[in-house]
Chain A
Amino acid sequence: MADRISELSLVQRAAQELSGGQLVALGPGLPTQIPGVLPRQGAIWFLADSGALGYVTQGTDEAPASSVDSDGRPVALGPGGTVLSLVDAAGMARSGRVDVAVIQTAQVNSRGDFTHWTTAATPGQFIPATAVDLAAGPKKVIAVMPHTSPEGKPNLVADLEFPVDGVGSVSTIITDVAVLNVTHRGLMLMEMAPDWRMDDVQAISGVPLMPPPDMGEMTFSITPARSPSKVFQNGVDALFDLKDGATVLIDGFAGPGGMPHYMLVSLREQGSKELTMISNTAGIARIVNFGTPPGMTAIDHSILIENKQIRKVIASYPVSPRASKPSAFELAYRRGEVELELVPQGTLAERLRAGGAGVAAFYTPTGVGTRIAQGKETRTINGKEYLLEQGLQADFCIIRGHKADTLGNVVYKGTSRNFNAVMAPAARVTIVEVDEVVEAGTLNPEEIVTPGVYISRIVVRPKEFSPYE
């Protein structure tokens, strides 16, 4: 048999699977070496079990480092990198936001089930760390491991020797002799290490391997990745794929602060109809009217209702505080033009947070015994009554930040943070309207509130734009 490839080569081959702009979660062990082998740092977002996001290098001995990777080794944050609490990191992994997770496994079977860390040396130990979390959410899971155990037994097995940590999760396996894909018919051998023959790989595998139509040889060079630009020239362009019938989150509190006025006007101009709008109010800033110049009205969610673009509203505060001055939503509702789902403000925030964090549903005490509880499951837990509420997710989200860097990291100003931070992760495409775009690395990593991972598009509010009309 030919030589097995080195750990470094294995890591380089794994790095070939990644491309610019992706969010890649790296578990402990071999995966932590991936950032160090890339020819260009910073184009791929790496997420470590420690909460480091957008870190670039590894292995400095300078102490004390303020950030560490999944193995606890010091790392530096790259330009635009930041740190997450582990509940936010877990939400990012669970919600499907992670493009690729790279996990070191002990064993994988032909269905893509894996055991993470339990081995013959530690048969009774279940050590999931983050592997169980990473098995559940990411779009693709890559397993990396030596092809055989230290005792020479195959790590590709028909049946896992130890209980499974992730079911059907792994799609690609990279070992020190081969690259394999998990298919519905079993493991397909895609590439072999230089000078290896299929019989030799089969001989150290515990399951039958299928030959591919076109066998490749493992290579180890890595093409430098680039991350795509997120900055759009104007609001309408940034809404190019927003179609009729879409569900759209639009932030804002009661007054004019923290509202994406320019994007609201852009959405009116873009003209999509039959939208479901999820927002705190359905447009009362123009009634509250703080600071509006005489003879003008504040731009708010009402402009979309007046333009007959909204079919349904999910909101906590859809009505005017003044009976004599009904909101555009109230008038449309009375005419039967829009539907309403009423949600208490805190529950709305929690449902959005759940939607963005991969929490399907949760029990909350809010609304028990009120009309909010009608038609919902209730449950007594430790003597207290709760309602079951579902997570909310949307196709698009439009938020208002103060500054963004070119990677989409956002900071806010004062209470204009309101629903922005909780809405951004809850949509497939999130567009931020900001006063200013700065270079990546300009924002203090400790200060970033919404990580760029959650921002797809950035639009700068034109200097001459007025929030009144």
Chain B
Amino acid sequence: MIARAEMVNAHHWRADFPALDQSVHGNPLIYLDSAASAQQPASVIDTVARYQREDHSNVHRGVHTLSHRATEAYEGARDKIAGFINANSRTEIVLTSGTTESINLVAQSFCRPRLQPGDTIVISHLEHHANIVPWQLVCEQTGAELAVAPIDERGEIDVEAMLALIDDKTFLVGISHVANALGTICPVERIIEHARAREIPVLVDGAQAVPHMQVDVQALDCDFYAFSGHKMFGPTGTGVLWGREDLLDTMPPWQGGGDMILEVTFDRTTWNELPYKFEAGTPNISGVIGLGAAIDYLRDIGMQNVAAYENDVHDYMVAELAKVDGIRLVGEARRKASVQSFLLDDIHSHDVGTILDHQGVAIRTGHHCAMPVMQYFGIPGTARASLALYNNREDIDRLVAALQKAREIFA
């Protein structure tokens, strides 16, 4: 159970986010689109601004003071990330532009050189396009095949079917920790255990999990874990690929350039050590430093507290939405986090989105970059409300009232 003290603190959390303190179309903003991108606390915004004002320089290069400061802050953020997900070592933290780049890196550097025709990559029907298309590309390049585990009406993966797909032809399994369109918490532990027993590596897409629950990559026992900074209150254009050091060691660089080399001659170039081998070119320094501040923010609150608080608001959201006349909840998995997709009567989700926006309520509408999920349900898209730690029960009441208004307009 969540302690009363955290319930009270939640009001303070909301005040930490300057963007939430505004009106949209004359109504106080209710932001229910954090699964697309979360708002940033003032501490992140200020950290980035202070870096830009006082410390900006290139990293890993100069002997001068600013370069030293920038490098310290940038590499300090890597340490924070490693601690946050309990990585074994900072060398396992590859900084990328986001989850999408992290997954593409694994597809092109880990899979492409080794995949044989007839090999399979196993994913689920619930995946975001970012955990589908990179595998399709590498399959096309190598003659390997994509195998897709089915889902059911609740929006849960058919685990037995997925385990049955993982056989001696399987090269890698890709699975989301929390599904972005439906909020399903996937049984990653069971899938990892099954794959590991067969020495098949597993990549977990953690973009929708990391902002909402404690993630421990060593306890999970997966091989790769990918996530984005901007969904966990950090800047856009930042992301992480965590990988087991022994696997990362065997992988060739996937982009060439500065920073990723030890020595360059025209005869032979040698690669830098981990993780820099995978970080060609000047990185998103300010963004990564901002991500470090976002992690400080989350650690101060404690992910257990975040998860407990959000679960309470999530369960309230599901219960209140279910009471709305004419609503159809899409995605009713037994274990869910942060997200509820729905349809309202036969009103198109974009019309719902526009009418809600007019009342200050921001939600996502459409296919949520998960078109196969929509195809499964036979619908073009849904309206999706998604939570972060700054939302509360009153936000849900406003959402429900706005939906009633949409029904009146389309009555």
Do the two chains belong together in a single complex? no
